[in-house]
Structure 1
Amino acid sequence: MGRLSCGVAAGHALTVDAALEALKDGGSAVDAAIAGLWTACVCEPVLASPGGGGFMTVGVGARTDCLDFFVETPNERPSGRIDAHGIEADFGNATQAFTIGAGTSAVPGMVPGLFAAHARYGRLPMKALVAYAASAARDGVRLTAYQAYLISVVSPILTATKGAKALFAGPDGEGTLGEGALFHNSDLADALEEIAGEGEASVHDGEIARLMLRAQEDGGVLTAAALSGYRPVWRDPIAEKIAGHTVYLNPPPSAGGTLIGHMIEGNGGAADGPSMAAAMARTDTAWTGAGRSLDRFLGKDVRRRSAPRGTTHISVVDRDGMAVAITVSNGEGNGIVVPGCGFMINNMLGEDDVNPAGPEDWTPGIRLSSMMAPTLARRADGAITVLGSGGSNRIRSAIYQVLMRHLAGGLPLQAAVEAPRLHVEDGFLDFEEGLPGGERDRLIDRFRDHRTWDEPNMFFGGVHAVECLPDGHVEGAGDPRRAGVFQGLA
């Protein structure tokens, strides 16, 4: 590939291409990430949407900032009927229940968040950053095997309403679009251009907000006041040490960074499988003992709730050394396409781990939490690494293992990402085959309840990472478990 001066790692080739185009045009790493995420809304539609939210960690010089633009509960409870109903998603070897409907949507933060990031760190006009995505949406994108699989898994959501079927149903009106199908979404192109032209006001009290509220008319919980009142929050990261290197993690009220930090603190710097599994087990025991409540885990009120799944990530380093990691989610989508906009609002209030009692039971005005943990590491030699992952509860273990193998174990970044992965939860160990024999034996001896995976699997997340070395050379890794792609520019 030759010597690179900037690079992008993400979950789809078009997401990466859009980000690289922004870098070619002189944009910052944040510009590139924003362009990539608008395009992810087109080519990764199950994972990214203007109706979702996320988190960003960015490094500029010696400064590291975190931006929380995740979803929050509406500012008041509705008095009428709440539209919420269950579906089952089929993963092949297992099924999982989800709740969808207008009443499952929390207040989205995606658009305000990307504008907040752009206001502080952007260079190019937002209209330029949506251009690639809008063009791709109008021209159509070929569905990859991974995206077609995700669409098939949540097909009950993507065919739940007439508007959703119009976007995702197969050519005969049955099933969903498969691998290689050309996916068009001209309404999303129009919506993105409206957002770029009107700014974040478009989702506060503009045309996009009006259309989102229209999609909430029958049993929804979002209000004009909730949309207009949403604000992203800048926060200071958590800082931890690994073998003399400093790692910056997503802070509360999100849970992911805190749990990664707990694993790092309890590890002692060891990068072998059994030691990492032991740290995971200790953290999971403490987390479970606290009732999976960050309030009790930390011993203070951080005003949070637990988090959903269905995530994608982008990491970028630009020629000036700015480094950014952004992870976003739309849950699985609420099943209702916003009229004329080509996207679904999230279904976060319908997630069991957010509201065990159901979407009728939530506290108004609460910023929800997440396992999402965009991460930045500053090595002692001056190198800077940004990384993140999708994967629900496996996000924390995936990022933790890559950090330990790379920073403490000395593995190159790509090797650290591709190394066999493991996860411990509720005393049960899942692990990919390929660990050294001695490590494997020790793991099985320690965890009698376990399951082996013969091949690397998306179950263990998808860590997409980029690193700027002390001499300015950029390297990166896209996780093959989730169709990851890395590309750079000379």
Structure 2
Amino acid sequence: MGATRQVAIAATGAASLGAGEAVVAEGGNAVDAAIAAAITSMSTEPGIVSLAGGAFVTIWPASGPPVVLDGNVAMPGRGLPRGAFGGGVREVVTDYGGGVTMYAGHGSVAVPGALSAYEAAVTRFGSRPWASVVAPAAGVCRDGYPIGGAATRYLGYVADGLFGLDPGARALTRRPDGSPFVAGDLAHNLELATVLDAVAREGASLLMTGDLGHALAADMAANGGLVTQADLTAYEVVERTPVRRRVGDWDVAVNPPPSVGGPMLAVMLSELERTHGFSWDDVVRIQRAVLAYRLAVHDVSRDLDADGHALLAAVERHGLAGLPTSASTAHVSAVDSDGLACAVTMSSGYGAGVTIPGTGILLNNALGEPELNRLGLHALEPGTRLASNMAPTVARAEDGRVLAVGSPGADRITTALMQVLAQLCLHGADLDTAIQAPRVHVRFAEDGEAVVEHEASPEIEAAVAAAGLRGLDHGELSMYFGGVGAAYRGSDGGLRAAGDPRREAAVGVA
């Protein structure tokens, strides 16, 4: 359809939206637009996400079944002696998120897979050359990009403790004079622009088996990191079949095991469907049961794939009675007028606080996120995909409606999407109403007590009281509860996108 194609894009900010729009202007489709926006987001939001992270890309073609391209991070250490594990990290304590303790440094870095997944998506489903999809990010890094409010707030907590020791990281996370970033500051990353030019020419393999990968492995070896050239060479994007559930008159496709977020979302949606409606009592009850199961089983699982499928099978047969007993993210959604949907969720953890020298690339700290490594530091076998809360979701209805949706927000990703999809698919709410409705998240304290975190709402307070649980009111529209972004095609073919007022967003139809 060329220039006549339109694409609805829900991006993370002006720079990422502009990248998606630029690719659409050249004839790009929803996949091209989403990937261009995602690469730009990972290049221009220091501290939030980075190119050396992981991502899931969920795509539903206009004809044919949906697919998930798993580019999540993996456990490194192939070829290393056992004595190499368990070190290379430093503890960082921060007030972010009410108090977070993490591990940073070279030993916290997992094998990155996002760029590889992005290239696979464009090669298989895109309509523009890879170089055209990467080019906007390189241009923005060269010409300048505004620092967003989310990055400013996060760096306000961690700029010194997390990013203050490595010269490259320091340069990327503050003004040239060393003072803190202020939202709206124009930043540049000329080193990364040069790297992106090379990625456009040579492909994502540059970061894996090319010169950039060799530089990463050498830097890891010199500083106690675990990522080896063998890890980078062995890494493969895995194509997975999504878990599909009927929610109202929608066919919803979510991220499958070994992801944690997708199965939890599927179970929550299935149980809401069983109730034939939506009430805050149901939301609290379902979240409490599913997240308690996650805490007891998934968070300490050594086989997330098997445990995830066991959960789905048990709940499919018996409902919640069949339950077996025993942070920083970004999201982009796009739907085009042809009916192609693409949802991309990406993460670099809290950040390792170090760079690949001379590249302008901040590294992930996926091994240093305690909530995703409850078995302990470096406990997994090399090559194992790490646990993930990411749940990029696509959906279709028989009347031609198409949806791509997702959210950042650590373990609040699944609960935010549960509530938005329930409002949209079961209540028939429009996009903005579904996204702006107040939210609930059941959190388990260290002593096992269930605490209902929620936004201001008398109805929610009544449901919390009826459940006999302790509640914690975050006020209205708190960033704690994620930042849902959705792109949508209506039954009449009209396109629209919606972003979450809880977190920066930029939406448009190009």
Q: Select the residue among 147, 151, 162 that pairs with 2:151.
A: 147
Q: Which residue of 1 aligns with 2:163?
A: 158
Residues 356-435 of structure 1: pairs in structure 2 closer than 5 A:
356=374, 358-426=376-444, 427-434=450-457
> 1:334 and 1:442, CA in 2 relative to 1: closer, same or farther beyond 3 A?
closer
3-state DSSP of counterpart to 2:371: coil
- Structure 2 counterpart of 1:256, which letter? G
How many matched pairs?
476
- Superposed CA offset, 1:317-354 (max 9, x none): 12322110000001122111112210122111112123
Give the conservation status (yes or no) of the 8 Å contact 1:55–1:326.
yes
1 CA distance for matches of 2:311 and 2:282?
29
The Cα shift of 1:296 comes to 4.2
Q: Which residue of 1 aligns with 2:72?
A: 70
> 1:323 and 1:297, CA in 2 relative to 1: closer, same or farther beyond 3 A?
closer
- Structure 2 counterpart of 1:379, which letter? A
3-state DSSP of counterpart to 1:71: coil
Residue 243 of structure 1 pairs with residue 248 of structure 2? yes
> 1:296 and 1:132, CA in 2 relative to 1: closer, same or farther beyond 3 A?
closer
2 CA distance for matches of 1:133 and 1:238?
32
- Structure 1 counterpart of 2:104, which letter? I
My pick for the range that moved more, 387-396 or 203-212, is 203-212
The Cα shift of 1:26 comes to 0.4
Residues 54-453 of structure 1: pairs in structure 2 closer than 5 A:
54-62=55-63, 63-74=65-76, 75-78=78-81, 79-80=83-84, 82-91=87-96, 94-155=98-159, 156-174=161-179, 176-216=180-220, 217-267=222-272, 268-290=275-297, 292=299, 293=301, 294=304, 295-296=306-307, 298-299=309-310, 309-356=327-374, 358-426=376-444, 427-434=450-457, 437-453=458-474
The Cα shift of 1:80 comes to 4.0
> 1:163 and 1:439, CA in 2 relative to 1: closer, same or farther beyond 3 A?
closer
- Structure 2 counterpart of 1:402, which letter? V
My pick for the range that moved more, 332-341 or 386-395, is 332-341
2 CA distance for matches of 1:137 and 1:182?
10
My pick for the range that moved more, 82-91 or 48-57, is 82-91
3-state DSSP of counterpart to 1:157: coil
The Cα shift of 1:446 comes to 1.3
> 1:300 and 1:314, CA in 2 relative to 1: closer, same or farther beyond 3 A?
closer
2 CA distance for matches of 1:16 and 1:169?
23
- Superposed CA offset, 1:100-131 (max 9, x none): 11111111101211111111012212222222
Unpaired runs of at least 5, structure 1: 302-308
Q: Which residue of 1 aligns with 2:319?
A: none
> 1:32 and 1:164, CA in 2 relative to 1: closer, same or farther beyond 3 A?
same
The Cα shift of 1:384 comes to 0.9
2 CA distance for matches of 1:265 and 1:122?
32
3-state DSSP of counterpart to 1:158: coil
Q: Which residue of 2 aligns with 1:46?
A: 47
Q: Select the residue among 437, 455, 466 that pairs with 2:487.
A: 466
Give the conservation status (yes or no) of the 8 Å contact 2:108–2:364.
yes
Q: State the TM-score, normalized to the length of structure 1.
A: 0.92
- Structure 1 counterpart of 2:70, which letter? D
> 1:169 and 1:65, CA in 2 relative to 1: closer, same or farther beyond 3 A?
same
Residue 488 of structure 1 pairs with residue 488 of structure 2? no
- Superposed CA offset, 1:415-451 (max 9, x none): 10011111112221011114xx445323322143110
- Superposed CA offset, 1:129-168 (max 9, x none): 2222111111221212222112222312222211211222
- Structure 2 counterpart of 1:70, which letter? N
Q: Which residue of 2 aligns with 1:305?
A: none
The Cα shift of 1:481 comes to 0.8
My pick for the range that moved more, 399-408 or 317-326, is 317-326
The Cα shift of 1:357 comes to 5.8
Q: State the TM-score, normalized to the length of structure 2.
A: 0.89
Give the conservation status (yes or no) of the 8 Å contact 1:245–1:379.
yes
2 CA distance for matches of 1:241 and 1:269?
12
1 CA distance for matches of 2:154 and 2:443?
24
Give the conservation status (yes or no) of the 8 Å contact 2:284–2:463.
no
Percent identical: 32
The Cα shift of 1:5 comes to 4.0
1 CA distance for matches of 2:387 and 2:339?
29
3-state DSSP of counterpart to 2:372: coil
2 CA distance for matches of 1:291 and 1:382?
36
3-state DSSP of counterpart to 2:497: strand
- Structure 2 counterpart of 1:100, which letter? A
My pick for the range that moved more, 180-189 or 456-465, is 180-189
- Structure 2 counterpart of 1:429, which letter? V
> 1:472 and 1:300, CA in 2 relative to 1: closer, same or farther beyond 3 A?
closer
> 1:447 and 1:487, CA in 2 relative to 1: closer, same or farther beyond 3 A?
farther
Q: Which residue of 2 aligns with 1:36?
A: 37
Give the conservation status (yes or no) of the 8 Å contact 2:45–2:148.
no
Q: Which residue of 1 aligns with 2:323?
A: none
- Structure 2 counterpart of 1:401, which letter? Q
Give the conservation status (yes or no) of the 8 Å contact 2:79–2:230.
no
The Cα shift of 1:298 comes to 4.3
- Superposed CA offset, 1:270-313 (max 9, x none): 22222222111121232234263344464499xxxxxxx21000
> 1:178 and 1:414, CA in 2 relative to 1: closer, same or farther beyond 3 A?
same
2 CA distance for matches of 1:89 and 1:104?
17
